[in-house]
Amino acid sequence: MENNFDVIIIGGGPAGLTAGLYTSRDRLKSLAIDKGLFGGLIASTELVENFPGFPEGISGMELAQKMHEQALKYGLNTINASVIGLKNITETYKTVITEENEYQSKVIIIASGSERAKLNIPGEEQFTGKGVSYCATCDGAFFRDQTVAVVGGGNAAISEAIHLTHYASNVIVIHRRNELRATRVLQEKAFNNPKIRFLWDTVVESIEGHDFVKSVRVSNVRTGEKSTLEISGIFIATGLKPSTDFIKGSLPLDEAGHIITNDRMETEIPGIYAAGDVRRNSGMQAITAAGEGATAAIYAHRFLSL
């Protein structure tokens, strides 16, 4: 593959793939780079019910595949690689550095998305892959007829809990507040599922086991009461953090690490755009990410036409 492009897109989720679809249809030589599966976090969602055009819903994996196929159809180049930095960002040709190569382009669209936040508690790293998971769609089948816990109270956590009921005998949702932040539709599904029970006002302090997870130590944030839950697995879905480690020091970020842009998805560096979850004030939804990817691509094309 050549190393010079009109546009390089960092990230292959809905924002990146939509940007690549638009730039490729405009006959701009475009490359999308993603360190993992193209499609982003949406690919690990069992059922997407709020993406327009699919009244019965669509699996996240199928939606991701369709987006990827459509972008490829119009000529988007893609590679799997980890981006570790940028250089020459104020020059006409900017450089994207991966672990194995360097690529140049006149425009960079950063759509690197977000990743699951960690609890950073004892046992979490030790038992990752041994009962600690961040993806129920990926790992739920390993816990058939067992008791598992889900940590969190947002859409991701409740979706994970509902999905896990297809396999687990019991699902305990552990939430630090006394009410959920998930949408009403998801809440209704969870509350009406006999396999799901809720542990309110509670945080996980440590994850324990031997070769695999056996239990978690929890604490009630109101009373201070501590207890142990016997479980076989724990799924952590407490939020997302932007994937921007590779650009720290290169572009202005807000206090949470999101890229600061205007409504054209432009950063303060001409020719560098950001779209999707990685951007400050993004809607954090697949459909808003796709819209931001399209917006970034439209203004990138205008920038290159000047």
Are the C-beta atoms of 108 and 96 separated by less than 8 Å? yes
CA distance 188 to 260: 36
> What one-character DSSP code corresponds to residue 62?
H
Catalytic residues: 135, 138-139
Structure-block tokens of residue 170: 């019991």
First CA to last CA across the chain, in angstroms?
Answer: 28
Q: Show the 3-state SS of 268-305.
A: CCCCEEECHHHECCCCCCHHHHHHHHHHHHHHHHHHHH
Structure-block tokens of residue 246: 């590779």
Are the C-beta atoms of 138 and 287 separated by less than 8 Å? no
Q: Please name which of 189, 153, 144 lies closest in space to residue 172, comparing C-alpha atoms.
A: 153
Structure-block tokens of residue 199: 């542990």
CA distance 261 to 272: 10
